[in-house]
Amino acid sequence: MRKWKCSVCGYVHTGDEPPDKCPVCGADKSQFVEITEPAEAPAGPDSKPTPDETPEPRPGVVSPPAASTIAPEEPEDRLGERLDSLHAHPISVHIPNGVLPVAVGFAVLALIFGCRVLETAALCNTIIVFLAMPAVLFTGYKSWRHKYKGARTDIFLTKLVCGAGVTILTLFLSLWWIVDPQVITTPGAGRWIFIVINLAALGLAVIAGLMGGRLVFRDR
């Protein structure tokens, strides 16, 4: 059975033809390449190298490098490769993914119990999420350009929209809270709108996390 590999996310498909669309990243059929296993060399002392094998270099003779190896590497590619090797995006994205649910939880508890201490705790955590988002967006963009070749599929567009949405909403919430520090504990329609915006930001973060998990754990 033939095997096909998605050149964007690395998903491997088994079948006579590649799928019309990658089930993981949504890349087009044209992005699949067939996986060919190298032919085994004949065993035994009398075996001879095939014509396709690269001959061993002779003493004193330096073989010229292949054309693909002498192309200069773009600085952006080097930065993206370095960030991927350090797992910069997964590390940075864990900050909002972990802190935002805490911020929303504190906000809901402050609403239920009318506690200003919980309201202040929610504000501090929301500000932390907003401050972390530029690093999340930057490392995510570099990873998309380097690791996924800048593929413009639905999954990456969804992650981009969700990341931008979390950034905008947490900025709005932080500014609202600074202007009105008691927005949750003050009776009125404003506090309910405030809570709904918190839940919307959390929902966007959850969707982005699910899309990221789909890419990382594509074989599970």
Each residue's pLDDT tens digit, 8-18: 998 999 998 99
Average pLDDT, the chain: 85
Cα 114 vs. chain centroid, distance in angstroms?
Answer: 38
Q: State the Cα–Cα distance between residues 157 and 155, nearest whole angstrom.
A: 5
Q: Which amino acid is at 163?
A: G
In the chain, what is the straight-line distance between the N-terminal and C-terminal CA atoms, in Å?
A: 21
What's the one-letter identity of residue 174? S
DSSP reduced 3-state for 44:
coil
Helix (H) or strand (E) holding 122: helix 116-146
pLDDT tens by residue, 151-170: 999 999 999 999 999 999 99
110-154 pLDDT, tens digit per residue, is 999 999 999 999 999 999 999 999 999 999 999 999 889 899 999
**Cα separation of 165 and 201, whole Å?**
7
Q: Which residues contact 115 (CB under 8 A, 6 or more apart)?
A: 109, 185
Which pLDDT score, from 0 to 100, does residue 207 have? Answer: 96
pLDDT at residue 72, as a whole number: 46
Higher pLDDT, 43 or 186: 186
**What is the mean pLDDT of the segment spanning 78-82?**
86
pLDDT score of 50 more than 80:
no
Q: What is the share, in percent, of the chain residues with pLDDT greater than 70?
A: 81
pLDDT value for 61:
44
Distance CA(35)–CA(4), nearest Å, equals 6
3-state secondary structure of 75: helix
> pLDDT confidence of 75, banded at 50, 70, 90?
low
